[in-house]
Chain A
Amino acid sequence: MSKENVLLSVENVGKQFEGNRVLKNINFSLEKGKILGLVGENGAGKSTLMKIIFGMNEIADTGGYEGEIYLDGEKINFKSPLDALNAGIGMVHQEFSLIPGFTAYENILLNMEKTKPSIISKIFGKKFETLDRQEMKKIAKDAIDTLGVQLDENALVSEMPVGHKQFIEIAREIDREKVKLLILDEPTAVLTESEAEILLKAMRKLADSGISIIFISHRLREIIEVCDTIVVLRDGVVVVEKPAEGLNVRQIAQWMVGRDVAGRKAVQVRDVDISESNKDVILDVEHLWVDMPGETVKDVSFSVKRGEIFGIGGLAGQGKLGISNGILGLFPAGGKVLLNGKELPLNSTFNALKGGIAFVSEDRRGVGLLLDESIDWNIAFNAMQVQNRFIKKKLGGLIKWRDDKAMKECADKYVNALQIKCTSTKQHARQLSGGNQQKVCLAKAFAMEPSLLLVSEPTRGIDVGAKALVLDSLRRHNNENDTTIIMVSSELEELRSICDRIAIVSEGKIAGILSPDADTAEFGLLMSGLSNLNEEGEEQ
């Protein structure tokens, strides 16, 4: 690669958040007019790397980054995304950044509108220039045509199908005058097959016109189809940087997920029969769909044996988090769920809890805790409300009085068992560290003495010591109380270390169920949704 042709050069870039190292020694380069595919699991560091390149505030707010990044030969030092935009970098995020009540052309030119000066604007300032809508429509049309998609620039965004919205986002970025580098973060996630084809063609066109593109996707087929170079990130490190030519999907999947076999702990001998012949099924899920924004579940079916630790993995946004939330009635859901053979009415949190299911949410601070209440409240609350525990009946059962003493005893018990670091059980949950907050959430679930425990992202954002303790307590609870556990996690290693079986969710469906010691490449393929396509064979 000749030096003059290199647009972006990333050298020895690293990043850590409060002692947690997320990126290390990242080195790669991108030529002008070429497309680079960036592949990796959740937590591999893709988003952090993009945030660094794009100059997002949270990077500077948390201590900046190590290493250097050169754009067109010049070292970059972005203080905010606006700097990045002015330098010619555009980024299309996964969440749409569109004004619903505006037309396509208004969105494409948002804060970049073309204006005509007037007398008033000459006195009072540029803000009072009138919009030149004709010119704006023309520019928008050009951008849309460049992408090769059929879209009415006068249509309101709120009335547009999802796929079109994605194109408008991209049109906005390429419309910037000096755009040199375009970062696309999972742009095909919401597109149909045909729309994705159009997008890939458009990307090629843009690249040919001189714009470099970083294409982040988990759809490995698309990566191979359109990229010139492929970079695979794993655990914050670049494991592979190769030209895409000659690579196949299986290889990439392996690089994405693969780890040394030697590094793994030996799997415990488990005494749960997970074969088909074991009919003791505690939970039967049939054609479940869940409308959880960002984690949509389309059609999921599986069954869990009593006493099993069942893992659910998959990439972010594919739907794994939606499954437990749906069963617990926190988001609209449909389909059929059988608990112990009896149908569990969906969309009722109370029913699920009363049936013996406990839930540890992935949203620790938002859903899992009462931050402004004490630890003992947090731990005892569900058991009190659903199972009438920690209640003293007065006046012949007419009044249900809160038994603060019993709550404290229960809290003390769990503070000991889980080693929750706090000044007392009266301390407010807000003041605990992330790891200890997670332990409180676990205690809340344990306190209900559930027969089925759904845990989502149990070790997200907590330190190594606490991680081990959390996983240990789950394992112990399962051993001692025969509690069935369904564990949803983005960390494959975690799942492989304690689960009996692991289901992988891709595009809202179960792509497959594997044994924890299955080949790593298998997991990678399932996560990219490929085995699924192969089996079905048909495109939409």
Chain B
Amino acid sequence: MNRVKEGIRNFGWPRIIIGLFLLALFIAGPFFGVATDMSLNDVIVRFGMNSVLVLSMVPMIQSGCGLNFGIPVGLVAGLFGAVMSLEFRLTGTAGILVAFAIAIIVGAILGLAYGLLLNKVKGDEMIIATYVGYSIVFFMNLLWVALPFKNPSSVQGFKGQGLRVTISVQDYWFHQISDILAIKITNNFVIPIGMILFFALMSFLVWAFFKTKTGTAITAVGSNPDYARAAGINVDKMRVISVVLSTVLAAIGMIVYQQSFGFIQMFSAPLAFIFPSVAAILLGGASVNKASILNVVIGTLLFQGILTMTPSVINSAISIDVSEIIRIIVSNGMIVYALTRKAR
């Protein structure tokens, strides 16, 4: 009985409640005319789309830099990579690979600056990360308007200047990853094996990284920075490495999202990814300084599940659109809850 109680306490009541809620929605779905296969399809696709973004939270949490509210730094690198790939008019595999390459390089550079900044403000990382994220989005907004992009599908037609708010990748590398080894189960249900594999690949890389000497050091820094210092570890350097890693992963994750969604969402769109990504990993069981890949998987599934199922089921049930509000309350409530727990 004690083990069960301790298990529940560790897992946390909010997660159990949300898990049961999700289960209830799935069961209730068919009664309200929501096709189960379509639901499953949506949840799995959205899992694939968001998983790498949530994965990007792990390195910074492990190193003690806290929840990465500054994920837009990596996201704009992803946007840049995508848009540049379009500028080169590259399609298919080449297109997406170049997008990745540019995103990774830009992400690494931005991540380096971001990491150095965070080292100067130990203790206030989260609020500053939030504002850095906002600032960089609006700074990039200036660039999206001002930089000389040429591709007509990217640039605003007629008298507009700069890039469009949403750019279609339909003709370029739409579903480039998603369609790899896709398995069709029903008309409404196509499992994007490619995206799942891609996430598995990224997770493997993250897992492997944390099994190296450097990765081990980073975990120690997040677990007890004083201990790490006393072991001769350069705490600042480890933190910067973790920030670069998180930023690069976020850049990659942005492109994965785009290829599935079919559009590159420019301008202030990255801001909409912050709280959902943070909430997802918290929902999966992570704390402010400890996160694992299991947290990523559970959290993304639960969170995207709620986001998908709530509108379709509840809207059908009571004919009202509560989706947006549920999303706001769940994601932000989860974050407030995590912030008020005692740090170990």
Contact = CB atoms under 8 A, between A and B. Distances in A.
Given A328-B230, A350-B232, A385-B231, A371 B213 contact: no
A385 B219 CA distance: 12
Interface stretch (A28-36, A54-62, A131-139, A399-407): A399-407
A366 B232 CA distance: 16
Given A373-B223, A381-B220, A385-B217, A359 B230 contact: yes
Contacts of B213: 384-385, 388, 391, 400-402
B124 to A, nearest CB: 20
B212 A361 contact: no
A391 to B, nearest CB: 6
A359 B231 CA distance: 9
A320 to B, nearest CB: 18
Contacts of B219: 373
Contacts of A353: 231-232
Contacts of B216: 377, 381, 384-385, 402
B231 A330 contact: no
> Which secondary structure characterizes the binding site on chain B?
helix
Interface of A: 328, 330, 348-354, 359, 361, 363, 366-373, 377, 381-382, 384-386, 388, 391, 399-402
The 6 tightest CB contacts between A and B, nearest first, are A350-B232, A400-B213, A349-B232, A353-B232, A367-B226, A382-B231
B211 A402 contact: yes
Interface string B210-235: 01111111011001101101111110
A408 to B, nearest CB: 14
Interface of B: 211-217, 219-220, 223-224, 226-227, 229-234, 290, 344
Most buried by B among A366, A384, A385: A385
A373 B214 CA distance: 16
B223 A349 contact: no
Contacts of A382: 231-232
28 contacts: A349-B229, A349-B230, A349-B231, A350-B234, A363-B226, A367-B227, A370-B220, A370-B223, A371-B223, A371-B224, A371-B344, A372-B344, A373-B220, A373-B223, A377-B220, A381-B231, A382-B232, A385-B213, A385-B216, A385-B217, A385-B231, A385-B233, A386-B231, A400-B213, A401-B211, A401-B213, A402-B212, A402-B213
A371 B217 CA distance: 15
Nearest to A388: B213
Nearest to B213: A400
Contacts of B226: 363, 366-367
B64 to A, nearest CB: 12
Contacts of A372: 223-224, 290, 344
Contacts of A391: 213
Nearest to A328: B230
B227 A369 contact: yes
Nearest to A380: B216
Given A367-B224, A381-B220, 11 more contacts: A351-B232, A353-B232, A354-B232, A368-B227, A372-B344, A381-B216, A382-B232, A391-B213, A399-B212, A400-B212, A402-B215
B232 A370 contact: no
Given A370-B223, A372-B344, A373-B223, A401 B212 contact: yes
Contacts of B217: 385
Nearest to A444: B231
A401 B212 CA distance: 4
B232 A361 contact: no
Contacts of A349: 229-232
A405 B14 CA distance: 37
Nearest to A383: B231
A105 B233 CA distance: 45
